[in-house]
Amino acid sequence: MVRRKYRGLRLALALALAFSMVLAVPLPAAAHPEVCDGKELGSDSSSQTFRLASKVLSTINVFASFLPPPQQMLDESTEQCFTDEEIAAMDDSGADLEPGETDSSRNVRLIGNLRKTGPFGATTGYGSDLAFWGKYAIQGNYEGFQITDVSSRRHPRIVAQVDCPGSQNDVSVWENLIFTSTDSRRTTDGCDSESIDSTNPTSDYWEGMKIFDWSDKDNPVLIKSIETDCGSHTHTLLTGLESTLIPGSEAVLIYVSSYDTAPTKARCGGQEDPDEARHDKISIIEVPLDDPTGAEVVAEPVLFPDGGFPGSETTSETRGCHDITAYQAIDLAAGACMGQGSIIDISDPWAPEVISSVTDPNFAFWHSATFSNDGKTVVFTDELGGGGGPTCNPTVGSRRGANGIYDVSDPANPEFASYYKIPRTQRNSENCVAHNGNVLPVRGRDIMVQAWYQGGLSVFDFSDPYEPRELGWWERGPFKDEPISGESLSGGWSSYWYRGSIFTNEIQEGLDVHIFREPVRKRAKTLPYLNVQTQEPLRRH
């Protein structure tokens, strides 16, 4: 299988619209828009990216008459993958919000906001994922993470800010431990590290997982760093297990999701035979809770021994997973793995095994997965354009950059049910695509709240997976009324229901708190904690 084809895939899967990071901001190995200019992958990789973008856009009749030859595009576009004229060719005539304006359905209202400050205040300090423990929200940021007291929904309060650069800094929490993912190459494994050039396969670098002790809420301390092959783009906790490292101790397992983006990357697929070497595995870290400093990689199972989905002109080649959601109560996980969505048997947590997979020509990049409360339905997301493109418009349509909902009552034979995408057109200056969300802990209903970057948040009911319907929504106008770039990328990264409210970690605007005024919210369970990639049955709470 030819490996060179994928070098620049992760961002330009469909619209190849993104930006360069002008400042010394860590660059992730991601399906996100930071590297479309080739700073991380090199000019050859960027050229491959643009070639793929051209094919995708021609396929969906976007910019077909505007696209210049790939090298010309590369030469003329150092900060964006497409010119302003090409972006303007998308039909955003249905969008009417201006910067600073908001709109919503009558049943969703913003009641609180906590702006980014300190080490996270710059426009390049992107807010990322969220986790919760008791009254605290842990807000990931490309520059570190923040602990926020959300006991007052109207007035969230900063408790601590940890300056620890290393995108994306996706977060999870368990008891006195906070876990963060680093998927950018750093000079050391500490919080004082610097970003380094990642195009040299022999360069010395670090990326992987960090563990912090936050027993002192005002002063979290880094206690352990674990290097993992190809870094850690996202991660998933499996809890309540018996340690194999310290007999008699309880342990947490961390499934580390990452994927290769260039065959020359050291410890990311191999260099000896680029056409054969692949990164189709995950790393499993065991953390004994009696001694978390003894955490180590205990397994590296290959999920796709036969290579996974080979990809096409408009879809990704599978070379690892972007995100995995585990549902231990039913011994299953759902993996969003670039070119495919996979159902995984985790009955032996140390040896997960893929039991079925689905593909879709409309899905450019399988990004994340969410089970229904009963585990019989999975919502997969397609992050078309890597999160940096204006894909919420009639030009792109309702089946791309959308959710794909699957009936998994028979996990060995998932069945496609429907697509769901927000119906509101966004401006060409607004990055918009399906992103992170969770299901409300409500018995008998399947209701999901989800972030769509600058498309805002959407609450939708998929109790009937074949007929999903929107229940409520909220959105801002453009962060900046200008072409999307590193300075104007914005919107909700993650929108999660927790303890009666919707919390959104906004890339630029900080932490939003919304209320959803529908009777169903009164039936929602009050959760003691929340790691969205670790789903639990309602009976546990």
- Consecutive sets of 10 residues in the chain, 541 residues long: mean pLDDT of each? 36 38 33 40 33 39 34 27 66 95 98 98 97 99 99 98 97 99 94 82 86 99 96 97 96 94 63 60 97 98 92 89 98 98 99 98 96 98 91 94 98 99 96 98 97 99 99 97 85 98 98 97 96 91 61
Asked if 248 contacts 274 with a C-beta cutoff of 8 angstroms, the reply is no
- Who's near 216: CB < 8 A, 6+ residues apart? none
Q: How far apart are CA 17 and CA 390, in angstroms?
A: 8
Integer angstrom CA distances of residue 115 from 102, 112, 147, 163, 508: 17, 10, 13, 16, 8
Residue 110 phi, psi (nearest 5): -80, 125
Residue that terminates a domain, selected from 40, 58, 88: 88
Q: Are 453 and 527 found together in one domain?
A: yes
Residue 447: closest CA among 521, 350, 538 = 521
Burial of 255 (0-12, 13-18, 19+ CB in 10 A): buried
Residue 126: closest CA among 42, 40, 217, 33 = 33
Neighbours of 248 (CB within 10 A): 8
Range 175-201 burial, b when 16+ CB lie within 10 A, else e: eebbbbbbbbbbeebebebebbebbee
Q: Is residue 97 part of a domain?
A: no
Q: Are 111 and 82 found together in one domain?
A: no
Q: How far apart are CA 10 and CA 269, in angstroms?
A: 15
Asked if 120 contacts 161 with a C-beta cutoff of 8 angstroms, the reply is yes
Asked if 89 contacts 62 with a C-beta cutoff of 8 angstroms, the reply is yes
Q: Are 453 and 334 found together in one domain?
A: yes
Q: Is residue 306 part of a domain?
A: no
**Coil, strand, or helix at residue 276?**
coil
Question: In sequence order, what are the beta bridge partners of 368?
Answer: 381
Burial of 83 (0-12, 13-18, 19+ CB in 10 A): middle
Q: Are 286 and 213 found together in one domain?
A: yes
Put residue 125 in one of left, alpha, beta given phi > 0 → left and psi -120 to 50 → alpha. beta
Q: How far apart are CA 316 and CA 268, in angstroms?
A: 17
pLDDT of residue 2: 33
Asked if 482 contacts 489 with a C-beta cutoff of 8 angstroms, the reply is no
Q: Are 49 and 178 found together in one domain?
A: no
Q: Are 377 and 521 found together in one domain?
A: yes
Residue that terminates a domain, selected from 38, 66, 88: 88
**Coil, strand, or helix at residue 140?**
strand
Amino acid at 535: Q
Which of the 8 DSSP states describes residue 84? Answer: H
- Who's near 328: CB < 8 A, 6+ residues apart? 238, 239, 240, 346, 349, 534, 536
Q: Are 111 and 71 found together in one domain?
A: no
Asked if 71 contacts 47 with a C-beta cutoff of 8 angstroms, the reply is yes
Asked if 86 contacts 66 with a C-beta cutoff of 8 angstroms, the reply is yes
Q: How far apart are CA 504 and CA 493, in angstroms?
A: 7
Q: Are 74 and 106 found together in one domain?
A: no
Q: Are 138 and 184 found together in one domain?
A: yes
User: Tokens at residue 287, please?
Assistant: 């953390």
pLDDT of residue 269: 66
Q: How far apart are CA 15 and CA 307, in angstroms?
A: 26
Q: Are 65 and 139 found together in one domain?
A: no
Q: Is residue 435 part of a domain?
A: yes
Q: Is residue 310 part of a domain?
A: no
The residue assigned the tokens 């290959």 is 302
Which domain CATH number covers 469?
2.130.10.10
Enclosing domain of residue 40: 4-88
Residue 183 phi, psi (nearest 5): -125, 35
Q: Is residue 333 part of a domain?
A: yes
Residues 179, 110, 150, 521, Cα dihedral to 10°: -90
Q: How far apart are CA 296 and CA 238, in angstroms?
A: 15
Asked if 260 contacts 269 with a C-beta cutoff of 8 angstroms, the reply is yes
Residue 213 phi, psi (nearest 5): -95, 120
Q: Are 31 and 110 found together in one domain?
A: no
User: Tokens at residue 265, please?
Assistant: 């990357």
Residue 123: closest CA among 484, 495, 436, 384 = 484
pLDDT of residue 69: 32
- Who's near 464: CB < 8 A, 6+ residues apart? none
Q: Is residue 76 part of a domain?
A: yes
Q: Is residue 313 part of a domain?
A: no
**Coil, strand, or helix at residue 75?**
helix
pTM over cut 0.75: yes
Q: How far apart are CA 339 and CA 410, in angstroms?
A: 21
User: Tokens at residue 460, please?
Assistant: 């939708």
Amino acid at 58: S
pLDDT of residue 330: 98
Q: Are 132 and 57 found together in one domain?
A: no
Burial of 504 (0-12, 13-18, 19+ CB in 10 A): buried
Q: Is residue 368 part of a domain?
A: yes
pLDDT of residue 264: 58
Total number of domains constituting the chain: 2
